Amino acid sequence: MAIKELKEKQKSEKPQPELSSAKKRPISTRGQIFKGRVIRKFPNRITIELERTVYIPKFERYTKRKTRIHARLPDELIHEVHEGDLVKVQECRPLSKIIHFMTIEIVKKSQEKKI
């Protein structure tokens, strides 16, 4: 008898639909960590630019190259990050077509103050 009552209770109780699972689930970071300057800021992402040196064997010299990376801004850093800041980003799973990094922390604030 008890088993039938439990089955009837389970049928009558409908599970609550979850809200979007992407909002609840934290995004895990893994892979490489980069430091770069913020050159553009959008509502939920930033574009950072970092310089790297590349060796050119033909001329036996080094040259500077720039790389641009798009990174997601977590909710706690949205109002703290501004253009010109030095930030640290870490690789994560692809979040959209161009966003493959997460902003971890602000290393250094920019000296310029925007009005």
Note the pLDDT tens digit of each residue in 84-111.
Answer: 999 999 999 999 999 999 999 999 998 8
Of 104, 100, 108, whose CA–CA distance to 82 is shortest?
Answer: 108
pLDDT band at 19 (very low <50, low <70, confident <90, very high): very low
Predicted structure pTM score = 0.71
Could you tell me where the DSSP H helices lie in 13-108? 21-24
Of 90, 94, 93, whose CA–CA distance to 103 is shortest?
Answer: 90
User: CATH number of the domain at 39-110, please?
Assistant: 2.40.50.1000
Please write the tens of the pLDDT for every residue from 23-70: 556 788 888 999 999 999 999 999 999 999 999 999 999 999 999 999
The structural domains of the chain, with segments of one domain joined by +, span 39-110
**Residue 12 parent element (H or E):** helix 2-12
Q: What's the pLDDT at 40?
A: 96
Number of alpha carbons in the 13 Å side-chain half-sphere of residue 32: 5
